[in-house]
Amino acid sequence: MAAETTTTEVRVRSRARHEPWLDRMVLPTLVVMAVVVGYPIVYTIALSVQNYNLLDFRPAAYVGAANYTKLAGDPIFWGSLTNTAVYTFGSVGVSALLGLALALLMENLGGARFRAIRALLLTPWAVPFVVVAFLFRYMYLQNGGVINAVLLSTGIIDAPIPWLNSSTLALPAVMVANIWAMAPFFFLLLSAALSAIPNEVIESARVDRAGTWGMIWHIKLPFLRNPLLISSLLMVISNFNDFAKIWAMTQGGPGYSTSTLVVYVYRLAFERFEFGYASAVGVIWLIMLMVLAWIYMRVLRMESR
């Protein structure tokens, strides 16, 4: 037996020694990746260490880490980073809770009527992000917006509220639009995960006289943990890059009160034409995205074991 094992190991080592370290079949893919992904990243890193402004007639000059030093003392950058964290994790957290609650409420409801309601609940997910942004922008209008009209008619407020023109209300208002569009995604995914729970487990819990909350807490939530974690990480990465909704609703204003990192990079590059400094912010933004992507891959690997 030991001799057979040794022979097998020798064969495996010999085969591994003769296999090429790079398969020629993947070369086209590597070339495409190098051009489409690698070149922009390398060029952005090269720009981030230069003083390059299109409005400046002088040629771009190497400044080393000066852009990164400036970035460390830039209050707008830190404000944009804080807005990105609040917008991303706040929207994903509330959307996940709403999607979970809707999935649990609709779990045992059947019939044509409830199928129609289920389809209606999924509708916001199908609406394009720009349409969602303009829809809520008109709903938030100070004069003539439906939200202020309802609040005034019910006596909750005495004067119209400038939802998108207030530095304290603008970000929560944009988050509400984002949550409305994102909650159906969690509802759809968690409904599918609930339907995959084995009936034997549910029946055993019923035999043990588990109550509603006990059934949810001890039986269903453990089954939903992995789908919830993976979908949340996907949405965190997606929201970290969200530009369309914020730009269509507030353009990062008033001031910089709703500017996230992606909006700040856009304003630096295409309004102030500071490509060198914008690239430095973009590199930091890219590093954060890579960390999130690494966490996502680790979670996927843990789930597959």
Q: Is residue 100 part of a domain?
A: yes
Number of domains in the chain: 1
pLDDT for the residue 3: 56
Q: Is residue 150 part of a domain?
A: yes
Which two structure tokens, joined as six digits, stand for 167?
A: 């530095």
Which amino acid makes up residue 244? Answer: A
134 closest CA partner among 145, 125, 148: 145
Q: Is residue 205 part of a domain?
A: yes
pLDDT for the residue 163: 92
Q: Is residue 13 part of a domain?
A: no
Q: Is residue 74 part of a domain?
A: no
Phi, psi of 50 (to 5 degrees): -125, 155
Residue 117: other Cβ atoms inside 10 A: 13
pLDDT for the residue 208: 81
What is the span of the domain harbouring residue 206?
80-260
- Which residues in the chain land under pLDDT 70? 1-22, 303-305
Q: 67 exposed, middle or buried (CB, 10 Å; 0-12, 13-18, 19+)? A: buried
Q: Is residue 201 part of a domain?
A: yes
Q: Is residue 193 part of a domain?
A: yes
